[in-house]
Structure 1
Amino acid sequence: MKKLFWAAPVLAMGALGLASCEDMAGSGGSGITAEMLLGAADDNANWITHGRTYSEQRFSPLDKINAGNVGELGLAWFADMDTARGQEATPLVIDGKMYLTTAWSKVKAFDATTGEPLWDYDPEVPGETGVKVCCDVVNRGLAAWGDDLFLGTLDGRLVSLDRDSGEVNWEVVTVDQDMAYSITGAPRIIDGKVIIGNGGAEFGVRGYIAAYDVEDGSELWRFYTVPDGTEGDDAPEHLKAAAKTWNMEVLAGSDAIGGGGTVWDSMAYDPDLNLLYFGVGNGSPWNQAYRSPGEDGTGEGDNLYLSSIVAIRPDTGEYVWHYQTTPGETWDYTATQHIILADMEIEGKTRQVLMQAPKNGFFYVIDRATGEFISAKEYIPQNWAKGIDENGRPIFNPEARIDKTGKPAIVMPGPLGGHNWHPMAFHPGEGLVYIPAFEAAMAYAPEADWKADRARGFNVGFDLGAGDLPPDLNVRREIYGTVKGKLMAWDPVAQEARWTVEFPGPWNGGLLATGGDLVFQGNSSSEFAAYNAASGEKLWSFAAQTGIVAPPITYTVDGEQYVAVLAGWGGAYAITADGHMINEQGPVRNISRLLVFKIGGEAVLPDVLTLAEIPLDPPPSRAGAETIALGKVKYARYCAVCHAPAAVGSTELPDLRRSGTLSDAQSWQAVVHDGILKDNGMASFATSMSKDEIEAIRAYVIQRANEDKALEAADKKGGAKKVARR
């Protein structure tokens, strides 16, 4: 019989050396204090930090909305956003006011009961920053301290805002803006320190996490996650240890890139142990044969601290322990996915554990005091490893190590993982972790003569065009039909699923668990739903008119319980998948909107306007095969990350097959080479490609558009039979 305990420890203020509540609260002691953050589990009215508590469980004991009355839940109010891009933020609610971030790092404040807008802030991120981001121009949220809010912007700034007015207190640049760094994650605050990481591993940067003073933004410490190839005697011990696991000559060479290891999302904090935990991302490039080759030219070394969970002291940034989920990773298997802390009884002993379901498909339970491996079990099908040994190290499948074989392979999961950034939730009463999981493989093929490009290139070391879907629409539908989405209720002690809800497509939203025996989740079928936490039975749903990827929250004002979620289709899968084949309901639209619900809510969404799609009407394909082949290679590296592989077109960003510039080489060059649309997010690629290479991309897109025009015509005549989804 297992017992589970809710980990929400509150340490005495003096033991952490913290200032008094009045000193930290700002004006009149009314702001967010260290004591409030430590005791957030007991604050049922508000949602004051990203995961509700430092343990990041995303569980609220609120039960006025429950399994018995959730069928009466209705829309209380909504607010349209002014950015038609992916929405991934977790709102904060403090004393009846809601604060949230949207795409392009904008911030908005509302009355949490009526939806009345209070203020908004636009950091005016340069549009050309968009090409420095692998996975949409999203932002996942804010941190609160005193009377201020803290935001990381897409272009790498940390900004302090007055919570009452939205006015800027200060801002500092936290990254080298000449490189492809970005920030999409939410900061955390511990004892007056704002902690934030960054992204950009795919573009060749070196990852780190850093702490800044809440008062003025001065940097207090910085923790690098990978060596830079020049570590000397004065380097921190953790980097000296890491250097032994890399090919340092390559890492320090003139053609080297940053190694990767960016800290772009998950963090959690245990105040009793005074440990901050964070997840580390993938290598740069993905292919270890280029990143850290051995004497035989194949991948070698564990490459610490890639794909690792790391524990440090938040006051100094001192390394304490690490656990690497994927040593020598070569598939983009980040460990930046959501981290949850809890205390639970395992084999008759109460353990302080850390839980994570990273991209690689295994669910891990780790001792959070020591980093000791406790258990791991695959939560989705995978074929890169034959299992995890007793020491917590994967037993690699040699056929999946493309960096060593040099041969193409279809590997499960692919680079989107079995679980991506979308937050999980933990229900202490049920002892279950709810995982927004999915199944999606990828064909990895080494790219010959690969060279790094820090300016604009997607630095993966694989041929991104090798896995293009075949032109046959029937085959494409069948392949998309194998990509599955799941809501899994995972028992972390037994390491097995208690129940599973299947979805017609992947990339479903983050989760919220409540004391009302409910689990809330949005999905790619444009639905927001509530499930029974014990059985998975769907109890209620709402037609949201757009795909939902963000996680919900819940709060109370004057005793009334609300549930809120930021809706708006977007993110990595949304911008790289064929927008017409994501699920059987048809194309998933982006309608960026905040939705707030309560029992008896009677608000109604406006009708959805029908949008006429621009027809496929490309010019004839007259370029030679060699030119088109070159264009395919360049498109895969420089264009596919935003405009989808094989130029199939998403529903969020422009479908290049339908672009008016296809018929005009001069206009195409003006956009791609000259950057006339940089303010819209389309920066110049003149530093990465010649005009001839850019013209070759146009030739490739023209050829693809003609192929698909013919296939669409045949499909309309019944020439391609639709394949039912499983």
Structure 2
Amino acid sequence: MRFGKAAVMGMLALMLSPSASAGDEPPSQPPALPAHVTSARMSAPDAPGNAGSWMSHGRSYDEQRYSPLTQINDRTVGRLGLAWYDDLATYRGVQATPLVIDGIIYNASAFNIVTAYDGRTGRKLWTHDPQVERQWARLACCGPSTRGIAAWKGRIYIAALDGRLIALDAKTGKPVWTVQTFDRAYPYSITGAPRVFDGKVVIGHGGADYGVRGFVSAFDAETGRRLWKFYTVPGNPADGPDGEASDSAMKIARPTWHGQWWKYGGGGTAWDSFAYDPRLNLVYIGTGNGSPLSWHFRSEGKGDNLFLCSIVAVDADSGAYKWHYQMVPEEDWDFTCTQPMMLADLRIGGKSRQVIMQAPKNGFFYVLDRRTGALISAEKFVSGNWASHVDPKTGRPVLYPGVHLTTTPQRITPSLLAAHSWHPWSFSPKTGLVYFPAMEQSIVYARQRDADFRFVPFRNNAGYDYAGATPENAALRRKLQAEADAMEKGYLLAWDPVKQREAWRVPYSLPGSGGTLATAGNLVFQGTIEKTFAAYRADDGRKLWEMPVDNVAIGGPVTYEIDGVQYVAVNVGWGGSIVAGLSKIPGGFRVSPARLLVFRLDASGVALPPLPPPTALPRPPFLRASEEEVRLGAQLYGETCARCHGENARGGLKDLRYMTSETHAQFLDIVLKGTRAAQGMAGFSDVLSKAQAEAIHAFLIARGNEDWQDDAARK
């Protein structure tokens, strides 16, 4: 950790005095406990005693990620400097939005390690490591990251990767209670941030790719007692009702499924986004893709498959179903609708409308009535070739002919890599614009032949053909993939949700930039794929300030105020996006260790250490495997490895095409025995045989030999 001279001179311990009463107080009254978040405070986030804090994942219940602070504004932001930082001791992706409550930062790193800091100086107050077993990293899409934590009445809540919901004493960091939220016999995981809505901790789970049935649970924030459970897809009809809050909803969902989907889990996991309207007493759930991903194998190519890729509204107290809106009926393309949701009151057609907004993977920006779920409008924010438009009368997408997957490869835009993924977005009431990272990416899809599909629990059971089952299909895949690689684009997009059109954009060299923060100072902050942290004018997109940070800040920035001084904080740590073009960057895409960075006006004297020197690109071994073995390895890689290491072995957490000779020699031990589990690479001996691991190794050697000559020349 490093401190500026002014910070060192001003370092003082925070006075944390517990109170006997945990009841709500008026919004302006000083806090009685550290992390003393209450219903009263969350109902008035801009009140004088609250405006300087960031008390929830999206700052307020509406998830707008907008701050009323103005000391850092479009006239002063050029004076921004680094006040202090902390190394997070990992190269893994760090996706968390920090919380800042009454001058204390609570931050989460990989494997759910949480640290509390003095927000002025960076002095560590405590750290809690929940000791998540490293094997859970392979059950979480894109690595062992977390998108955040929650706070309520003196406690910090961790939703751990392995399913534990842990309440910590905010003063000491010591556990108060722990509950297990899912059955560990199934490949669930948690990467999303928990939310506390009026004393109820709400959390969902991931794992649809590996074969689970999605659900969301609410727990009493004081005791950890489970209050309700809502399943997002139906189970085996022969088992009868679940006896849960979702029973009435399953009567609606069950007729939209066919075959024996329950054997594969069904999916629909709510792995990230929630919102809450205290006036309507509704919790909004964003749901994910099916299990398997292929509609053909999941549901015999029949039915809408509710509630996949939907927003579902439930009663906050009971979890009872209220309404739903499905963005992607007949889901076949991994178009999750777990992306951030946002509440706002907008004037549309001359009337004030209570709306919920979402810009999910599929490339459409949706505005719904949040009381009823009725569609108000939906328009494309990126180009796409899966649906022409959304029918305003039915609310259904109008699919292009032939877009459902067959055994013949086709290029689909957007892809499962997402037009907009989990990366946080923000809204400015001053400009009326929503700000988020948009991506234009294609992917080559084909489903497996019926004879080739095998469901294996704890493996990515897409039902997709990743290699090309015939030489003709393999050649077509290569041609289409070259087209997909050439079209990659990424930009910061400012979108008008009333007019449903783009206001402005800031283009970047590649997709993969991070979440955004909007402030009343007419600013939008974002971490960029160019490894900078930048500030733009919120009204016109003009860049006003930028600082190289040697990494990508992919999570959500926050701003806070202590003793009249405004700060901006963000985690930098690359991960959670798959970008094929990274392999073309001269010198390679190198990053620093993940860090928490904190900025303020006129800060000076603190500098980040230089990047370590680059290593030479190792020459891959010569390929000695047969074409049949390489093709098998490609399929197994797609099912087992691609979610972390990138489609076609490019753009993931680590480029496996260019392993060192030592790594090649240790490959089977790493993959099967988990000899690098401490670094997050768990063993796969329970789902892969030695022969299958050798086939994956052969595929990676083949990929390295295909690309090494061109990539080495660029380096």
Give the TM-score, by structure 1 length: 0.89
Alignment of 1:337-352 (within 5 A): 337-352=339-354
1:232 alignment partner AA: G
Q: Is the 8 A contact 1:618 1:663 kept in 2?
A: no
Q: CA deviation digits over 1:482-535, x for unaligned, max 9?
A: 211111111111100111111111111111111101111111110111111110
Residue aligning to 1:4: none
Secondary structure, counterpart of 2:167 in structure 1: strand
Whether 1:534 and 2:539 are equivalent positions in the alignment is yes
In structure 2, the CA distance between the partners of 1:714 and 1:101, relative to structure 1 (3 Å rule), is: closer
Aligned with residue 215 of structure 2, among 208, 212, 224: 208
Tell me if the contact between 2:495 and 2:501 (Cα under 8 Å) persists in the aligned partners: yes
Q: Aligned-pair distance for 1:607?
A: 3.3
When residues 78 and 234 of structure 1 are mapped into structure 2, their CA distance, relative to the original with a 3 A threshold, is closer
Segment of structure 1 superposing worse, 690-699 or 210-219: 690-699
Cα 1:490/1:670, change in 2 over 3 Å: same
Please say if residues 342 and 357 of structure 2, whose CA atoms lie closer than 8 Å, have aligned partners that are also in contact: yes
Moved over 6 A (4+): 22-27, 467-478
Task: Name the amino acid aligned to 1:505.
Answer: L
Residue 578 of structure 2 is matched in structure 1 by 573
- Structure 1 CA distance for aligned equivalents of residues 491 and 326 of structure 2: 26
1:95-144 C-alpha deviation (Å, 9 max, x unpaired): 11100111111101111011111111111111111110111211111111
Distance in 1 (CA, whole Å) between partners of 2:350 and 2:533 is 39
SS where residue 256 of structure 2 aligns? coil
Instruction: Indicate the SS of the match to 2:270.
Output: coil
Match of 1:191 in 2: 198
Instruction: Please give the alpha-carbon distance, in whole angstroms, between the structure 1 residues aligned to 2:429 and 2:26.
Output: 34
User: Is 1:429 the equivalent of 2:438?
Assistant: no
CA–CA separation in structure 2 for the residues paired with 1:624 and 1:418: 37
Seen in structure 2, the aligned counterparts of structure 1 residues 344 and 709 have a Cα distance that, compared at 3 Å, is: closer
Q: Which runs of 5+ in 2 are unaligned?
A: 1-21
Return the alpha-carbon distance in structure 2 between the equivalents of residues 553 and 324 of structure 1: 31
Aligned pairs for 1:449-528 (under 5 A) are: 449-466=451-468, 480-528=485-533
Q: Give the C-alpha shift of residue 478 in structure 1.
A: 8.1
Contact kept, 8 Å, 2:515 with 2:556, in 1: the verdict is: yes
Does the 8 Å contact 1:207/1:260 carry over to 2?
A: yes
Amino acid at match of 1:244: P
Amino acid across the alignment from 2:571: L
Following superposition, the deviation at residue 631 of structure 1 comes to 2.1
SS state at 1:239 partner: helix
1:573 is paired with a residue whose SS is: coil
Structure 1 position 240 matched with structure 2 position 241: no
Q: Quick one: structure 1 residues 92 and 452, their matched pair in 2 at CA, closer, same or farther if it must change by over 3 Å? A: farther
Say whether 1:250 aligns with 2:260. yes
Counterpart of 2:283 (choices 265, 276, 284) is: 276
> Percent of pairs identical after alignment?
44
User: Quick check: 1:399–1:409 contact (8 Å CA) kept in 2?
Assistant: no
2: CA distance between counterparts of 1:345 and 1:224? 34
Q: Structure 1 CA distance, aligned partners of 2:453 and 2:139? A: 18
Any unmatched runs of 5+ in structure 1?
1-18, 294-298, 717-726
Residues 358 and 399 of structure 1: CA distance in aligned 2, closer, same or farther (over 3 Å):
same
Separation of aligned partners in 1, 2:88 and 2:663:
32
Q: Which residue of 2 aligns with 1:613?
A: 615
Contact 1:580–1:588 (CA under 8 A) maintained in structure 2:
no
Match of 1:693, as an amino acid? Q
CA contact (8 A) 2:323 2:372 kept: yes
For residue 580 of structure 1, give the secondary structure of its aligned residue in structure 2. Answer: helix
Q: Give the SS at the match of 1:151.
A: strand
**Do the aligned partners of residues 383 and 125 (structure 1) sit closer, same or farther apart at CA in structure 2, a change above 3 Å counting?**
same
- The letter of the residue matching 2:428 is H
Deviation per CA, 1:619-643, whole angstroms, max 9, x where unpaired? 3322222222222222222222223
Which residue in the other structure is 2:17 paired with? none
Which residue of 148, 157, 165 corresponds with 1:141? 148
Task: Identify which range, 194-203 or 215-224, moves more after superposition.
Answer: 215-224
Cα distance change on mapping 1:44 and 1:183 into 2, 3 Å: same
Does residue 545 of the first structure (1) align with residue 550 of the second (2)?
yes
1:75·1:595 contact (CA, 8 Å) conserved in 2?
yes
CA distance in 1, matches of 2:457, 2:425: 34
Tell me, yes or no, if the aligned pair for 1:85 and 1:590 is still in contact at 8 Å. no
Letter of the 2:617 counterpart: P
Report the CA distance between 1:676 and its aligned residue: 3.2
CA RMSD of aligned residues (A): 2.8
Aligned length: 682
Q: Does 1:229 align with 2:236?
A: yes
Q: CA deviation at 1:182?
A: 0.7
Could you tell me which residue of structure 1 aligns to residue 5 of structure 2?
none
Q: Distance in 1 between matches of 2:55 and 2:367?
A: 27
Partner SS, residue 156 of structure 2: strand
Counterpart of 2:390 in structure 1 is 388
SS of 1:399's equivalent in the other structure is: coil
Q: Deviations over 1:47-105 (max 9, x none)?
A: 11111100011111111111111111111111111121111111111111100111111
Post-superposition shift, 1:435? 2.0
Which whole-Å CA distance do the structure 1 matches of 2:136 and 2:422 have between them? 21
1:474 to partner: Cα distance: 13
Secondary structure at 1:694's aligned position in 2? Answer: helix
- Contact 1:153–1:183 under 8 Å retained in 2: yes
Check the 8 A contact 1:649/1:656 in 2, yes or no.
no
The alpha-carbon distance between structure 1 residues 105 and 240, as it changes in their structure 2 partners (threshold 3 A), is same
2:447 aligns to what? 446
How far is the alpha carbon of 1:228 from its aligned partner? Answer: 1.0
